[in-house]
Amino acid sequence: MTKTIPGSDIDFDRNGKQVGFYRLPYSGHDDAWGVLPIPLAVIKNGTGPTILLQGGNHGDEYEGPITLGEIIRELDPATVSGRLIIAPAINLPAVNDGLRVSPIDGLNFNRTFPGDPKGSTTLQLSAFVHDVLFPMADIFVDLHSGGSSLSIVPSAIIEPSDNAELAGRIRKAVGAFGAPMSVVISNRGDTRTSTAAAVQAGLVTVGTEMGGCGTVSPKALDVCRRGVGNLLHHFGIVESSAAQASGEPEHLHELGPAAHILSEDTGVFEPCHLLGDSLRAGDVAGRVHCLSDPRRPPVDLISSADGVLYGLRHPGQVRPGNCCAVIASPCSPS
């Protein structure tokens, strides 16, 4: 039996390694009948679960695409029990330009799910993931970092679920990833993200945040490589002799209602602490300086939560509404 999809010659049911493209029709100003060649790989051997690995959700987040490219090149199909579907640069227009949003339609891919197969380019891409790839998968891994605007403590992300059985499986998978921190993040309740949509579709879902500042962090890249390998072992897709994490998140935190510290002014943000530092509610997390008027004192940005300084603004310039710092508060595993 074969399973192909329109726009790709990859057979999703064939054993072995296939590396190709999903060709999304795109008629831009300079190409009447062109396509966007979205990289896609399938590595399959025998029976077992299917894991969908996604990188390049945002085009300025690099540890995930690097890790997935290495897996595509290096993983021997003979060592696999199941199937890997790998989309290392899913939001190709943004990846090519190193942008968070698509240069074609200005949309944030991670706020467009479930997408629209008749919509703009980004909506078509999210519909492809939601309608075509999700139904083939049992597990979904979405590899993010802080991008150009944030530096973040390398961490694995728990997407909340109302399904107790699925929530338990997600927590065990996040624990198996083995990141320095595990954080519950609901993106302010936004259900249009890929991880929220994957959980709604019933997939065991793991997200990450790795480094940031629009650069590649060697430390975060090491966490990402090891974590993905841990997940492949955890689900029995690839055997490994390396030491594995326990399967339960350690140092579990969450981003609560008071997690995000926002600027109400235009200026330059000065952080007062380092990533990973502990803060208490009432502590000064940073200051916003008005460089154009030296008579004005800086405005203190006060933490409203106890916890760990999880994210910091990058670059320095801010305007009202920008997120300058993020506090992850300890929470119980229940």
What structural domains and CATH numbers belong to the chain? 16-254 (3.40.630.10), 260-330 (2.40.50.100)
The residue among 271, 146, 155 whose CA lies nearest residue 215 is 146
Q: What is the per-residue pLDDT for 242?
A: 61
Task: Locate 206 and state its tokens.
Answer: 């793991």
State the pairing for strand pair 278-279/260-262: unpaired
The pTM of this model reads 0.94
- CA 213 vs CA 147, 151, 169, 278, 325: distances in Å: 6, 5, 32, 21, 13
Q: What is the per-residue pLDDT for 111?
A: 98
Cα Rg, the chain, nearest whole Å: 20
Q: Which of 288-292's residues contact partners 24+ apart within 8 Å by CB, and which partners?
A: 288/263, 288/318, 288/324, 290/265, 290/266, 291/267
Q: What is the per-residue pLDDT for 245?
A: 56
Q: What is the per-residue pLDDT for 244?
A: 58
Q: What is the per-residue pLDDT for 240?
A: 76
Q: What is the per-residue pLDDT for 1?
A: 58
As a whole number of angstroms, the distance between CA 255 and CA 88 comes to 27
State the pairing for strand pair 16-28/31-45: antiparallel
| Intervals of the chain under pLDDT 50 | none
The residue among 177, 232, 207, 241 whose CA lies nearest residue 50 is 232
DSSP-derived secondary structure letter, 236: T
Q: Are 274 and 183 contacting, i.e. CB atoms less than 8 angstroms apart?
A: no
